[in-house]
Amino acid sequence: MPRKAADPIRFAGIGVASGLGHGRAAFREGLFAGRNVFSELKREGREAPEGEQPFLGVEMPEPPAVLPPRVDRTATLTGRVAASVLAEAWEDAGLDAIAPERIGLVVGGSNLATRERALALVEYWEKRAFVRPRHGHMFLDTDLCGLCTAAFPIRGFAMTVGGASASGAVAIVEARNAIRSGRVDACIALGAMQDLGGHDLQALRALGAMGSDRFSDVPEKACRPMDADHDGFLYGEAAAALVLCRESVGLSKTYGTLLGAASIADGTRGPEPNHEGQIRAARMALAEAGLAAADIDHVNGHATGTPSGDDTELETYRALGLHHTRINATKSILGHGLAAAGAIETAAVLVQMAEGRLHPTRNLETPIDPGFKWVGVAPVEQKIGHALKFSFGFGGVNAALVIGAPEASR
């Protein structure tokens, strides 16, 4: 049985954006259908070097207009998407019922608008005297805090946290900490859209982290987490806002309860994964929840599709004894959302928990280790009482979340 907190912290609202579309309905439908949204990347500034294969991945439709037109014109794409997912989560949770001074915001992500910044550098290189004044702040990570707190009555606090590809999960941990400390009663954890440019994509390809040359002619086959034919992750535009709150504040909706959470450093500088750090984060989160690995019904893996990352994560699964539980990989459908990954994949856990079924793992045809209970290319019916979500980032960041079904805290 999970350890019962005096005032459990629950997920009360969800807002999402991805290549599947904008909003929870498109997200739910696309997840369980395993809909293909992979193609060549087409946004300006994402061109591959001459003579090289185009970059593959996922791009989302233009976000709905949420900000006033004058503000919208000066916001980055990352900012406009952030406002869109926050608007959906705000309405879903009914946050107007809480005093603005008791609401906080944690934005997960850093260096979020590098594509637009690179385009601006090219545009103004020969006419620097005419650089727009807004460029003095619009590319700062804190501009998302300013955009969101100007558009919504958030007056408790606003901050950003960077954890590379674990940023979204780290934002959830810090939102939980802010509520637990008494600083606020509700806090939005926002995994921001990481808007990569061509230089970033080429560097990740050269690093060996990003695929895929092997499937360049068939993009729908290229993203293959935990499959023997994996050759790197594929970038996917994504963002998610999750409202966390005390159970006692009285918001009507509950998607699930955050029973345990941990974010730790493993002492690694670069992209190398570290299974000891992953195991430690998971054990800390499980201990806080008062659960053992045997109590976990579902694992939502970090599962990027990079050979070293997948292999290391499998070591973690083995060490924790997770052979009994159903495992799937949300990145197989959405691509790798980088800063947003931990948040939007947590949203996927909550949606699956509500539906009582697990979304497919696209292209998982030959699992690297068939000894685990993988969710393959078709959805699976599964009641989820307790889920374990992994999220890892360059720089030795390891995060783990233990999420209980709404009844798990009662």
List the domain boundaries for the chain: 9-409
Q: Which CATH number fits domain 9-409: 3.20.20.80, 3.10.20.340, 3.40.47.10, 3.30.230.10?
A: 3.40.47.10
Q: Which amino acid is at 115?
A: R
Measured over the CA atoms of residue 84, residue 24, residue 183 and residue 264, the dihedral's sign is negative
- Assigned token pair, 253: 């909706």
Which pLDDT band, with edges at 50, 70 and 90, does 252 fall under? confident
Residue 119 has pLDDT above 70, yes or no: yes
Q: Which amino acid is at 336?
A: H
Q: Give the pLDDT confidence of 205-224 residue by residue, as tens digits.
A: 999 999 877 898 999 999 99
Residue 410 has pLDDT above 60, yes or no: no
**217-246 in b/e burial notation, b at 16+ Cβ within 10 A?**
eebebbbbbbbebbbbbbbbbbbbbbbbbb
Cα angle 101, 102, 103; round to 5? 95
- Assigned token pair, 76: 């980055």
Cβ-contact 363, 224 below 8 angstroms:
yes
Q: Give the pLDDT confidence of 265-312 residue by residue, as tens digits.
A: 999 998 999 999 999 999 999 999 999 999 999 999 999 999 999 999
Q: Chain-wide mean pLDDT for the chain?
A: 96
Q: 159: how many CB neighbours lie within 10 A of its CB?
A: 14
DSSP single-letter state for residue 75: S
- Assigned token pair, 348: 């996927």
> Of all helices (H) and strands (E), which one includes residue 347?
helix 341-355
**Predicted TM-score of the model (pTM):** 0.97
- Assigned token pair, 79: 């900012």
- Assigned token pair, 88: 């959906």
Task: Please tell me the least confidently modeled range out of 6-10, 39-43, 87-91.
Answer: 6-10
SS3 299: strand
